[in-house]
Amino acid sequence: MPSQNARTFNLRLFLIYVGIALGAIFYLPSLVPLQPTASDSYLFGYNNRAAVVLLLVLVAIAAIWTKGLNLKLSTNGVSLPVPRKTLVISLLAVLAGCMAMYMLAGRFGGLGESSYEIDRAWMLSQGKTPYVDFEWPFGAALLYIPLLFSRLFSLGIVQAYYLFWAINCLLGTVLLFAVVNRIDYPTQSKKIIYIVLFSSWFLSILNMGTHYTLVRYTCPLYFILVVYKCIRGAGAGSRVYGALLAVAFTAVLLLISPETAIAFAFAAVCIFALADSSWKGSNLAIVASLIVALG
């Protein structure tokens, strides 16, 4: 809620700044030279890296100027979890959406993002190697598991891919439910938060792409919450166990989406570095070992 003692800022100037910032993000990166890449951005001459750096700078300026929009996090109150009934309804909606998309389009082959992924899974089935023989920007599990399903259940690549995609959609929904409930924050709005996040993702079922399921986005969040709970207020033994979990979770994320693995590893190191304010020798040793293991 807003802090009454926080310094106010001019809302009109802030809105003007937001408009100028958005214009800069949409235009300025197109002026920065870029190397040829297999992306739509390259076709339009838009430099993604420059855009990300510009976005971070502009957001940082706005955050410092407005002092976080004068928001103050609540520190007390009752935390109500998302009801399991909401999860069941969500899973039924996801299952119905996946079945409808498969019947309308999937059974005829690839559609949207699935065309690219089915094509890459087919190349893998022909003995080619991802990252070496063909371009693949995601984790290897998104290709090898559909191939495993194909051989295990005697399915075609298309049917095996869509089975894996549907499982990902359902698993991602469960992970989102677990993440929202696991966050230790006093609020009675967890159900609303879950519904908003779930609803904003649900339409991506139309893309039929496994890398757009919630698994890719919620796995690192769930893993970091597990590691944080493991080391919070615990002794050296629990922190060692948490460090081992962090390394194992990073390996899992590398199989799903390498960039999320890098983000998770960075977050894990920061959490361990700040877990013990006294900076005892044992904590330093754990942090150093974690960095080496992640490397």
List the pLDDT tens digit at each of the 295 positions of the chain.
444 444 567 888 989 999 999 999 999 999 999 888 767 788 888 999 899 999 999 999 998 888 877 777 666 777 889 999 999 999 999 999 999 999 998 888 888 889 999 999 999 999 999 999 988 989 999 999 999 999 999 999 999 999 999 999 999 999 999 999 998 888 888 999 999 999 999 999 999 999 999 999 999 999 999 999 888 766 777 788 888 889 999 999 999 999 999 999 999 888 888 776 665 666 677 777 777 887 7
Whole-number Å distance between alpha carbons of 272 and 66: 30
User: Phi and psi dihedrals of 210, rounded to 5?
Assistant: -65, -30
Cα 133 to chain centroid distance, Å, stands at 27
Whole-angstrom distance, CA of residue 162 vs CA of residue 114: 8
Look up the pTM and report it.
0.80
Distance CA 222, CA 225 (A): 5
With a CB cutoff of 8 Å and minimum separation 6, the contacts of 262 are none
Domain locations along the chain: 11-70, 79-212, 216-295
Sequence-separated (6 or more) residues with CB below 8 Å from residue 57: none
